Amino acid sequence: SAVISQKPSRDICQRGTSLTIQCQVDSQVTMMFWYRQQPGQSLTLIATANQGSEATYESGFVIDKFPISRPNLTFSTLTVSNMSPEDSSIYLCSVPMGGGLAFGPGTRLTVT
């Protein structure tokens, strides 16, 4: 099974700033997914990160707010831009694994 790591594990940021979250997988994968989990809520898919092409965003999420990079088959970054307190969430990356998904440990973001 894949080992997925994320950096940072948590951060406290001021409104108006940006934070870049890194996701590293120990094997090559075609697709990587970024999810958001707001406090007390379930997970919502933000976008699919594809190597060599633009990320595909879900309804309600835009590239200007959540730019994504995918420079190779083992790494991706998600930036949360111009943050507001509503962006306080856990951000998780995931990869396909055996028909299902495997998840990283998440990044807990608090915006003050």
Partner 1 sequence: KQEVTQIPAALSVPEGENLVLNCSFTDSAIYNLQWFRQDPGKGLTSLLLIQSSQREQTSGRLNASLDKSSGRSTLYIAASQPGDSATYLCAVDTSGTYKYIFGTGTRLKVLA
* 33 within 8 A of 45, measured Cβ to Cβ: yes
Rounded least distance, CB 105 to partner 1, Å = 4
Rounded least distance, CB 99 to partner 1, Å = 5
Rounded least distance, CB 48 to partner 1, Å = 7
Judged by beta carbon, residue 81 or residue 110, the one nearer partner 1 is 110
Judged by beta carbon, residue 81 or residue 101, the one nearer partner 1 is 101
In eight-state DSSP terms, residue 85 is G
* 69 within 8 A of 76, measured Cβ to Cβ: yes
Judged by beta carbon, residue 10 or residue 16, the one nearer partner 1 is 10
Rounded least distance, CB 12 to partner 1, Å = 14
Judged by beta carbon, residue 33 or residue 66, the one nearer partner 1 is 33
* Other CB atoms within 10 Å distance of the CB of residue 21: 23
Which residues sit at the interface with partner 1, rule CB under 8 A?
Answer: 31, 33, 42-45, 48, 58, 90, 92, 94, 96-106, 108
* 94 within 8 A of 101, measured Cβ to Cβ: yes
Q: Sheet containing 68-72: give its strands across.
A: 4-7, 19-25, 75-80, 68-72
